Amino acid sequence: MFAALVAAVVLAIAPKPHVVWKPIPYGAQRKAEMAAYAEKHYGIHSWVLHPKVIVEHYTGSDSFSAAWNSFASNAPDGELGGLPGDCAHFIIDRDGTIYQLVHLNVMCRHTVGLNYVAIGIEHVGTSDAEILGDPAQIRSSLELTAWLVGRFHIKIRNVIGHNESLSSPYHRELYKPWAHQTHADWKRADMDVYRAKLRALIDANRRH
C-alpha cells in the first residue's frame, strides 16, 4: 500500500530532462553583491533562493555563448546598472540543449521585483513566437519547466513571462524608481499558449 502510494507520487512528477552543468563564476563576492541587492530591493539580507515562481525570458541575441559570457562577466546591468550583474539559472539553446549556470538555491538577478523567489530560464532567441515555433527548443523548455514545477511545488499560474512580472502576487520592489520596471519578453498572450502546453505535458505525465 505504502509502496504503491510512493510509486504513484513519484510517477506524478515530470522526469528531469538532460541538463548540461555549465556554471558561471558565482563566488563569495558575487553572493555578497546579491545579498546587498536583496536587502535594498526586498528587505532580505540573503542570496538564498526559495523558489515559488519561474520566469521565462529570451536573450534578445542569437547565440548561447554570448548570453553565457554576458552572465559570467558580472558586469553591471546595461539598463539599470548596479551589481551583481544579470544572470539566469538556465539557458536553453536553439537545438534544445539545456544549460544550467547557477545552483537552484542561489538568487539570480533576472527580473526586477521577483529575484528573491524566481528561477530564471533564458531562451536563445529574439521573440516569443520564434521560441514557440522551434520544436526542439520549446520541447526542452516545457520539459525543464514541468520538472521544476514538480520539484518545487510551483503552481502553473506562477510560471510567468518576464512581461507579466508586475502582475505577479509575489512582485515586491522597495526601491521606488524600479517599482513599475519590466521587459517586453514573453507577453501574456504567448504565455497563455505556453501554460496550456505545460499543463498538457504535466497532465500526460500524471496519466502514465
**Which residues of the chain form contacts with Zn ion (CB under 5 A)?**
57, 162, 183, 185
Shortest gap between Cβ of 61 and Zn ion (angstroms)? 12
Shortest gap between Cβ of 182 and Zn ion (angstroms)? 9
Residue closer to Zn ion by CB (options 191, 202) is 191
Shortest gap between Cβ of 57 and Zn ion (angstroms)? 3
Shortest gap between Cβ of 30 and Zn ion (angstroms)? 20
Q: Residue 25, exposed/middle/buried by CB under 10 A (0-12, 13-18, 19+)?
A: exposed
**Cell 526559495 belongs to residue:** 50
Greatest CA span in the chain, whole angstroms?
Answer: 56
Residue closer to Zn ion by CB (options 14, 138) is 138
Bridge partners of 58, per DSSP, are: 123
CB 131 within 8 A of CB 137: yes
Residue closer to Zn ion by CB (options 183, 199) is 183
Residue closer to Zn ion by CB (options 143, 185) is 185
Helix (H, G, I), strand (E, B) or coil at 198: helix
